[in-house]
C-alpha cells in the first residue's frame, strides 16, 4: 500500500523517537481546542449509533461551503468518499493528471478501471497548459485532477477548471477534483470548483489537513448530479462516520478564530519557506500554493537525503514514487517557523 507521507509508526517500532514529521502535511496549530471541549462535554454520544443521514453534519458542511445539504456526502476520511465515488461511477477508463496522490490509482483499481496518465512537466513547473491538455484527452470516462496539486503545490484557477470541464462535457467525460488542500489558499471560497455547481463535477474535500485531525477520519464530497446521488446512497456503508467526527464537523467549521489563525500562518509561511528553500544550493523548490513544497535534488537522490535527514530526526517524503517524478524529488510539509528553520538548516547541511 502506498501511504501518505512516511510510516512514523514503523520508525518508532524500529527505535526512532521524537521524529519531526515533515512527510505529513498537517496544520501545525494542532487539534482545535473548541473540538476537544465539545468531545469531553458530549462523550456519551458514543452509546448511540450516529445519525445514519448525518443531517446536522451535512448541514454544517453545506453552510460552510454555501451549498445545500443535498450537495454533500460525508465519509470516513476523504478516502471513503473517493472509493465510494468510483464504486458509484464505475469508470472503465480514467485519466489522472500526474504527478498526484497515489490513492486515486488504488480506488480506480478497486473497480478494475484502466488508468492512463497525463504528465505535467518539471520544465514547465508542473503547470497545466489548457490548450496542450485539451488536444491530448483520449476518450475515457473520467478525468482526475488534484487542485491544489499534491505533491507539486500548483493550482489551476477556477476559470481554467471551467474551460477544462466544458471540454470534458462535450466528450461526455466526468471530472473529479480533489480539493483536500484548497483551504490553505487565501480566498479559496471564490476559487473552489463548487462555485460552478456543475453536474459533471465531483469534488472531494477533507477536514484532516486544515483542522489537523487525520486521526479522526472525516472527509466529504460535493456534487450536483442527482443520478450519482442514488448510486452513492446505495453503495454507502451505514454509519461510516464516527460520532466524534460528527461533532468535529459541527464545531470546527465554525471556529473562526482557528480558521483565521491558520490562514495568517500559512499565508506568511509558504512564501517565506519557498524563498528560503531557494537560497539553498543544489536544490530547486517549486512555488507552492498550499502547505507543502516539492523539492528537486540536483545532486543527490531522495533515498539518500531521506536517510540523512532521518539521522537528524526529520522525516521527509521521498516523492520519487509519484508517477511522473523520478528519484530526485522530495516533498516537505510547511509547519511553524521554529521547526521550519530546523528543517531548512538540516536540509542545507545534507544537500550542500
Provide the binding-site residues for a second copy, judged by CB under 8 A: 1, 3-5, 7-10, 13, 21, 24, 26, 30-31, 36, 39-40, 43-53, 55, 76-77, 79-80, 83, 87, 103, 110, 212-217, 233, 235-240, 242-246
Q: Smallest distance from the beta carbon of 191 to a second copy, in angstroms?
A: 27
Q: Smallest distance from the beta carbon of 209 to a second copy, in angstroms?
A: 11
Q: Which is nearer to a second copy, 191 or 207 (CB)?
A: 207
DSSP 263-325: HHHHHHHHHHHHHHHTTSTTEEEPP-SSSEEEEEESSS-HHHHHHHHHHTTEE-EE-TTSTT-
Nearest to 252 by CA among 61, 55, 50: 61
Q: Smallest distance from the beta carbon of 239 to a second copy, in angstroms?
A: 6
Q: Smallest distance from the beta carbon of 244 to a second copy, in angstroms?
A: 6
Q: Which is nearer to a second copy, 30 or 138 (CB)?
A: 30
How big is the CA angle at 10 (ends 7 and 12), to the nearest 5 degrees? 110
Nearest to 86 by CA among 70, 75, 98: 75
Q: Smallest distance from the beta carbon of 43 to a second copy, in angstroms?
A: 5
Q: Smallest distance from the beta carbon of 260 to a second copy, in angstroms?
A: 20
8 A C-beta contact, residue 193 and residue 201: yes
Q: Which is nearer to a second copy, 32 or 122 (CB)?
A: 32
8 A C-beta contact, residue 185 and residue 289: yes
CA dihedral (83, 85, 90, 95) in degrees, to 10, reads -90
Q: Which is nearer to a second copy, 3 or 299 (CB)?
A: 3
334 Cβ contact list (under 8 Å, min separation 6):
25, 266, 269, 270, 273, 288, 291, 292, 293, 340
Q: Which is nearer to a second copy, 33 or 275 (CB)?
A: 33
Q: Which is nearer to a second copy, 3 or 307 (CB)?
A: 3
Amino acid at each position: 500500500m502506498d501511504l501518505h507521507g512516511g510510516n512514523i509508526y514503523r520508525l518508532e517500532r524500529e527505535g526512532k523517537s521524537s521524529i519531526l514529521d515533515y512527510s505529513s502535511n498537517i496544520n501545525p496549530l494542532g487539534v482545535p481546542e473548541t473540538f476537544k471541549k465539545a468531545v469531553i462535554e458530549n462523550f456519551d454520544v458514543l452509546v448511540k449509533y450516529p445519525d445514519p443521514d448525518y443531517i446536522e453534519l451535512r448541514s454544517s458542511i453545506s453552510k460552510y461551503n454555501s451549498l445545500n445539504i443535498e450537495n454533500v456526502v460525508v465519509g470516513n476520511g476523504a478516502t471513503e468518499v473517493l472509493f465510494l465515488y468510483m464504486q458509484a461511477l464505475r469508470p472503465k477508463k480514467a485519466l489522472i493528471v500526474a504527478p498526484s496522490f497515489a490513492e486515486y490509482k488504488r480506488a480506480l483499481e478497486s473497480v478494475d478501471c484502466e488508468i492512463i496518465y497525463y504528465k505535467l512537466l518539471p520544465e514547465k513547473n508542473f503547470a497545466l497548459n489548457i490548450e496542450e491538455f485539451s488536444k491530448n484527452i483520449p476518450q475515457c470516462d473520467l478525468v482526475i485532477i488534484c487542485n491544489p496539486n499534491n505533491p507539486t503545490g500548483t493550482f489551476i484557477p477556477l476559470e481554467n477548471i471551467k474551460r477544462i470541464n466544458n471540454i470534458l462535457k462535450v466528450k461526455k467525460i466526468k471530472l473529479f477534483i480533489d480539493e483536500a488542500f484548497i483551504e490553505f489558499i487565501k480566498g479559496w471560497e471564490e476559487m473552489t470548483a463548487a462555485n460552478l455547481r456543475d453536474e459533471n463535477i465531483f469534488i472531494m474535500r477533507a477536514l484532516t489537513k486544515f483542522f489537523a485531525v487525520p486521526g479522526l477520519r472525516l472527509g466529504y464530497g460535493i456534487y450536483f448530479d442527482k443520478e450519482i446521488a442514488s448510486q452513492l446512497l446505495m453503495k454507502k456503508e451505514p454509519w461510516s462516520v464516527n460520532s466524534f467526527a460528527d461533532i468535529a464537523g459541527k464545531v470546527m467549521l465554525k471556529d473562526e478564530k482557528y480558521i483565521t489563525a491558520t490562514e495568517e500562518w500559512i499565508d506568511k509561511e509558504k512564501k517565506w519557506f519557498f524563498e528560503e528553500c531557494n537560497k539553498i544550493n543544489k536544490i530547486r523548490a517549486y512555488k507552492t500554493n498550499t502547505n507543502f513544497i516539492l523539492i528537486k535534488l540536483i545532486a543527490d537522490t531522495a533515498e539518500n537525503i531521506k536517510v540523512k535527514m532521518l539521522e537528524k530526526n526529520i522525516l521527509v517524503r521521498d516523492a520519487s514514487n509519484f508517477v511522473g517524478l523520478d528519484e530526485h524529488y522530495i516533498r516537505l510539509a510547511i509547519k511553524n517557523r521554529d521547526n521550519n528553520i530546523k528543517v531548512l538548516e538540516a536540509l542545507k547541511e545534507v544537500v550542500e
